[in-house]
Structure 1
Amino acid sequence: MFIEAIVQTPQEALRAEELGVDRIELVSGMKEGGLTPSYATIKQVLNEISIPVQIMIRPHSYHFSYDERDLETIYEDIRNVIHLGGKGIVFGALNQDKTINMYALETIAGISNELSITFHRAFDEVPSQEKAYYSIASSKNVRRILTSGGKADCMEGKEQLRRLVALSDEIGGPKILPGGGLKVDNIKEIHRHVEADQYHFGSGLQVEGDFSKGLDREKVRIVKNNTKI
């Protein structure tokens, strides 16, 4: 069972590894929903921890329909990640009609054959998650899709998450990574219903739910125990 946690600094990354988190999502600007971290932060984290690192690639928080200048920034940020030795990125892009921007996704997948891509919660804005899943699955290097099942959080979206996990298992496509509103008092129920093999936590693993206070050792312990069912 994989537990992924959001971190924003090298100190938080080291803390996550120490507490037994299996993978981290490195971001900046959590108040804006998560943006691309700085070059220096990426470099430090990649040099200092051994667990897998997925790096957010998101130039702004306005929307997920990127123009050509946005996309050039995105491609350059990904090349920088690769230059630093990173392989994991978190990315999502939509067309104006909220369908998956396959041109952007396939361009990114073609930058390096070693990329491990998480398609993020832009997936929760698409008109049909099943159709979007098949589109994403046709692109190489997308390993997982972060989603709350198209709802505000995983508890509300648990029925759809269960269907998406079954679809992933059926076709052997990208794994479903439930995320959004996960915390110690609901992960057991959600896991029993959804039966994913990995989960993504944000404020639910932080001391008092506050990113400025860092990861809570006891919450990490409880979550890891509650997903062994």
Structure 2
Amino acid sequence: MLEVIVLLPEDARQAEAAGADRLELVTAMPEGGLTPSYSVIEAVVHAVTIPVRVMIRPHSRSFTYTEEEKELMKRDLSHAIELGAEGIVIGALTREGDIDSAFMQEVIAIADGAAITFHRAIDAARDPLTAYQQLAALGEIQTVLTSGGGQTVADGLDTLKAMSACDGPEILLGSGLTIDNIAQVHSVLQGQHYHIGSAARVDGSFANGIDANAIHRFKETIRS
């Protein structure tokens, strides 16, 4: 399964046509991805037939949120689901660097069966493997987007192997994947779910459109 980051309806249509299996919809990629507007969510959901998961992240300062910020996030995730998103992408840590399990339980209740991806906040946890086990204990998190605590997937291979040996959410491998390293990463991890952003763009830049050839080559590699 290949998930591709998109920003706008045209991105979404191009990514689907190129073979993406699922989309992560965000805005403000220079900040690592924030919550898109409701109008963009609605337009993207109606532009494609493949699943769309919407980023719920109010700022890029940290993955620890105030109570007011959490209320905003809960409202945003409700709206995203009402607008037709298949799921949401969210994450929160305590000040100690553990999963904010209390908040995530609220998220699960509000999502009411919609898919939940816990994003790369896990890679900022004090122990990503323990954090993965904490998410598994919650029972209703379908996906964890992670690089195994490394800056890139290639840096976090050992932790990713340990996560894969656990009984828990599907592991969505993401960060630093390129057409040049995906074959090596896939040969080591034999992952089932991959996530790409700039690697799906012309010249590897979010300033440019979707590179259909790059998506085709990723799909060919991970199917091998």
Q: Same fold (TM over 0.5)?
A: yes
Which stretches in structure 1 are left out of the alignment for 5+ residues? none
**Equivalent pair of 1:28/1:34 in contact (CA under 8 Å):** yes
Return the letter of the residue paired with 2:42. Answer: K
Q: Which residue of 1 aligns with 2:216?
A: 221
Deviations 1:176-227 (A, max 9, x none): 1110000101001001111110100011111001112111111111111111
Q: Which residue of 2 aligns with 1:63?
A: 62
TM-score (structure 1 length as normaliser): 0.95
Q: Which residue of 2 aligns with 1:187?
A: 182
Q: Let me know the Cα RMSD of the aligned residues.
A: 1.0
The within-5 A match list for 1:150-229 is 150-167=149-166, 171=167, 173-229=168-224
Deviation at 1:127, TM superposition (A): 1.7
**Equivalent pair of 2:52/2:87 in contact (CA under 8 Å):** yes
**Equivalent pair of 1:113/1:141 in contact (CA under 8 Å):** no
Helix, strand or coil: the match of 1:200? strand
Q: Which residue of 1 aligns with 2:43?
A: 44
TM-score (structure 2 length as normaliser): 0.97
Q: Which residue of 2 aligns with 1:18?
A: 17
Question: Matched residues in 2 for 1:191 and 1:166: separation?
Answer: 16
Q: Which residue of 1 aligns with 2:82?
A: 83
The percent identity for this pair of structures is 39
Question: Matched residues in 1 for 2:157 and 2:130: separation?
Answer: 18
Deviation at 1:143, TM superposition (A): 0.7
**Equivalent pair of 2:94/2:100 in contact (CA under 8 Å):** yes
Structure 1 stretches of at least 4 aligned residues deviating more than 3 Å after TM superposition: none
In terms of mean alpha carbon deviation, does 66-75 or 129-138 score higher? 129-138
Helix, strand or coil: the match of 2:88? strand
Which stretches in structure 2 are left out of the alignment for 5+ residues? none
